[in-house]
C-alpha cells in the first residue's frame, strides 16, 4: 500500500514509525498510509526559513502573484484526478469535491490578481502619512513588511484543498514560506496537489513544505518570526495557543475553531414567499453539503414561535428528500462522514443535544452496513434557553437544531449570542429595520452576517461560501482568528512598523505616493 511521503527540505521523505491508514468512508477500504515519525521537523522549518523565506522576499508582490496563478493552474490541470480522490478519500459527492477544489483555485486566483494590483513593490503602506509636528517635513508612516519566519498551517479534514490553499495563497503573497500539515484522514488530495506543484516546478525551493502524518514535535521548534494558522476543534486550538514554546516565543497564532452558526427567519418572511423559500433551500444545503462537515454549516435555526410547526414540517420534507449514499453515484446528494471516529462523535453529540428528534439520527435508507452514513438530522427544542448543549457543543455533521424565539430582534439576538461567538449568522428578512436591529444585536459576536431576502434570492451564494475578499473567522468560541479579507489577510503574515523621518525620503522608501490599492 502506498505511503504518502512528506515534502521537507526540498525532497519527499517517508516517516519510519507506525502508520495511520486512510480509508474510503463509503466502502471502508484502505487507500494509503501516512507517517511523519522520524522526520526532523525542526530542520524542515529551518530549511524553509533559510531557503524559502529569502527567495520569496526577493520577489515583488506582482511576482508572487504570478506564483499563485501558476499554483492555481497546476491544481486545475489535475482537477478530475483530485475530484476522484476527494470522492474516494473524503466521501464527497462530485459537487462537494468540486466545491473544495474550485474554492482553492478561486482563492489563489483572487490573491494572484491582488498581487498584480499591488505591483512591483515589497512594502505595504498602512494608512496615510501623519504630520508629527508643525514642520511638514517631519512625518510618520505605518508600513507592513514580510516576517522572516515560516507560516505553519495546521488544517482540518473537511476541505483538504481549499483550507490548505486559501491559507497558502495569503502567506505566499505576503512573502512567507509555509509548512502545511493536512489532517491525516483526508490528506490524499493535499498530498497530490503538492506532488503536482513539485512536478511542475512552480515554487522556489523551500517555499512550500508538507507534513503527512502527526504534527509530532513541530511546535517545539517554532521561533519568534513564525506564524501559526490552525483550523479545527476549540480544544486543539487551546493546546496550540498554550504550548510552552508558542507562549515563550510570542508566536503569532490565528485559530478558526468550533462555531455554532445560526440562521434567523424574520417575522415578515411569510410561508411561500421568495425569502422563505430561500431560507429553506439554503438551510438544507448548509446542513447536507459535505455531509454537514463545514465550519460554516448552520447548527441553530431560530424562527418565530408561531412558525415553529410549519418550519419543522417543511424542513423534514426537505431533509428526507436528500438522496444519501455512495457519492460516486450521480443521483446521490450527500455521502458519508469522513471517518468512523467522526460518525461516532456525531452520534454521541446528537444524544447530548437532547430535544426532540424530528427526522434522521440513523443511516436512513442507505443499504448495508458499510460506510459512515448518517441521514440529515433535525432536532427540535421548545425552549432555547433550557437546553444548554445546543449553544455549547458543535455536532460536526448533517445535524441542526430548530428552536423558537418571540418574534423580536432582541430575543433572537440574545439566543444567537448564547453560542459565544460564531463564524457566520444568516438573517432572512425583507424588513430593513429588523435586519438593522439584528446587525446591532449580533455583529460583535459574529465574523460575518449574511442577509437573505427576495431581492437577492436568485443571486446569493449562501452563508456557507467563504469569499476571498471578505474576512473569514469569528470571535469567542469560533477561535478569535481572522483569515482572507483581501489585503487584510496579508497583515497576519507581515509586521506593522512605524516609520519616522523626512517626508520625501519616507515617501520614496515606502513608495506610498504610488500605491495602487
Catalytic residues: 256, 295
| Widest Cα–Cα separation across the chain | 81
As a three-state string, the secondary structure of 91-109 is CCCHHHHHHHHHHHHHHHH
CA-nearest of 66, 76, 78 to 204 is: 66
- Please spell the DSSP secondary structure of 356-387, one letter per residue: EEEE-SS-TT--SS-S-----EEEE-S-GGG-
Determine the Cα–Cα distance for residues 367 and 165; give it in Å rounded to an integer: 36
DSSP-derived pairing of the beta strands 6-8 and 11-13: antiparallel
Give every strand in the sheet of 377-380, ordered side by side.
Answer: 356-359, 377-380, 399-405, 298-304, 261-265, 422-428, 446-452
Determine the Cα–Cα distance for residues 282 and 85; give it in Å rounded to an integer: 27
The separation between CA 233 and the C-alpha centre of its own chain, rounded to angstroms, equals: 12
- Please spell the DSSP secondary structure of 237-269, one letter per residue: HHHHHT-HHHHHTT-EEEEE----EEEEE-TT-
Instruction: Give the DSSP H or E segment for 285.
Output: helix 274-288
Three-state DSSP state, 516: coil
- Please spell the DSSP secondary structure of 146-201, one letter per residue: E-SS-EEEE--SS-TTHHHHHHHHHHHHHT--EEEE--GGGTHHHHHHHHHHHHTT
DSSP-derived pairing of the beta strands 124-131 and 138-146: antiparallel
Determine the Cα–Cα distance for residues 346 and 400; give it in Å rounded to an integer: 11
Please give the radius of gyration of the chain, using alpha carbons only, rounded to the nearest integer.
24
- Please spell the DSSP secondary structure of 35-94, one letter per residue: --TT--HHHHHHHIIIIIHHHHHTS-HHHHHHHHHHHHHHHHHTHHHHHHHHHHHH---H
Supply the DSSP symbol for 408.
S
Amino acid at each position: 500500500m502506498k505511503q504518502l511521503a512528506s515534502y521537507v527540505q526540498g525532497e519527499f521523505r517517508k516517516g519510519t514509525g507506525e502508520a495511520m491508514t486512510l480509508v474510503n468512508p463509503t466502502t471502508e477500504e484502505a487507500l494509503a498510509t501516512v507517517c511523519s515519525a522520524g522526520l526532523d521537523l525542526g530542520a524542515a522549518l529551518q530549511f524553509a526559513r533559510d531557503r524559502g523565506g529569502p527567495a520569496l522576499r526577493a520577489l515583488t508582490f506582482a511576482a508572487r502573484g504570478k506564483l499563485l496563478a501558476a499554483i492555481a493552474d497546476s491544481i486545475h490541470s489535475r482537477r478530475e484526478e483530485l475530484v476522484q480522490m476527494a470522492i474516494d478519500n473524503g466521501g464527497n459527492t462530485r459537487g462537494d469535491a468540486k466545491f473544495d477544489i474550485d474554492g482553492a483555485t478561486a482563492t489563489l486566483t483572487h490573491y494572484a490578481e491582488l498581487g498584480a494590483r499591488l505591483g512591483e513593490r515589497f512594502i505595504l503602506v498602512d494608512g496615510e502619512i501623519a504630520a508629527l509636528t508643525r514642520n511638514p517635513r517631519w512625518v510618520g508612516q505605518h508600513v507592513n513588511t514580510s516576517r522572516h519566519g515560516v507560516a505553519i498551517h495546521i488544517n482540518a479534514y473537511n476541505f483538504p484543498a481549499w483550507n490548505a490553499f486559501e491559507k497558502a495563497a495569503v502567506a505566499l503573497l505576503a512573502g512567507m514560506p509555509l509548512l502545511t500539515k493536512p489532517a491525516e484522514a483526508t490528506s490524499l488530495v493535499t498530498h497530490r496537489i503538492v506532488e503536482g506543484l513539485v512536478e511542475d516546478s512552480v515554487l522556489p525551493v523551500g517555499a512550500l513544505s508538507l507534513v503527512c502524518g502527526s504534527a509530532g514535535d513541530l511546535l517545539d521548534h517554532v521561533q519568534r518570526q513564525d506564524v501559526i494558522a490552525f483550523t479545527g476543534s476549540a480544544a486543539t486550538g487551546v493546546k496550540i495557543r498554550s504550548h510552552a514554546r508558542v507562549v515563550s516565543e510570542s508566536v503569532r497564532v490565528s485559530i478558526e475553531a468550533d462555531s455554532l452558526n445560526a440562521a434567523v427567519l424574520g417575522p415578515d418572511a411569510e410561508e411561500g414567499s421568495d425569502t422563505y423559500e430561500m431560507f429553506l433551500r439554503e438551510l438544507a444545503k448548509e446542513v447536507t453539503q459535505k455531509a454537514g462537515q463545514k465550519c460554516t454549516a448552520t447548527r441553530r435555526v431560530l424562527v418565530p414561535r408561531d412558525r415553529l410547526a410549519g418550519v419543522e414540517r417543511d424542513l423534514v420534507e426537505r431533509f428526507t428528500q436528500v438522496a444519501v449514499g455512495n457519492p460516486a453515484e450521480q443521483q446521490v446528494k450527500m455521502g458519508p462522514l469522513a471517518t468512523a471516529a467522526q460518525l461516532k462523535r456525531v452520534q454521541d453529540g446528537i444524544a447530548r443535544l437532547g430535544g426532540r428528534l424530528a427526522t434522521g439520527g440513523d443511516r436512513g435508507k442507505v443499504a448495508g452496513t458499510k460506510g459512515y452514513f448518517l441521514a440529515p438530522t433535525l432536532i427540535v427544542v421548545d425552549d432555547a434557553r433550557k437546553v444548554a448543549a445546543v449553544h455549547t457543543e458543535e455536532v460536526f455533521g448533517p445535524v441542526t437544531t430548530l428552536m423558537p424565539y418571540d418574534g423580536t430582534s432582541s430575543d433572537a439576538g440574545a439566543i444567537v449570542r448564547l453560542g459565544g461567538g460564531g463564524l457566520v449568522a444568516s438573517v432572512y428578512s425583507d424588513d430593513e429595520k429588523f435586519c438593522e436591529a439584528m446587525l446591532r444585536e449580533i455583529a460583535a459576536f459574529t465574523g460575518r452576517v449574511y442577509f437573505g431576502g427576495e431581492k437577492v434570492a436568485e443571486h446569493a451564494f449562501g452563508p456557507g461560501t467563504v469569499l476571498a475578499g471578505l474576512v473569514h473567522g469569528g470571535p469567542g468560541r469560533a477561535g478569535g482568528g481572522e483569515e482572507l479579507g483581501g489585503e487584510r489577510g496579508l497583515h497576519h503574515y507581515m509586521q506593522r512598523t512605524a516609520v519616522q523621518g523626512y517626508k520625501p525620503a519616507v515617501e520614496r522608501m515606502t513608495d506610498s505616493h504610488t500605491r495602487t490599492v
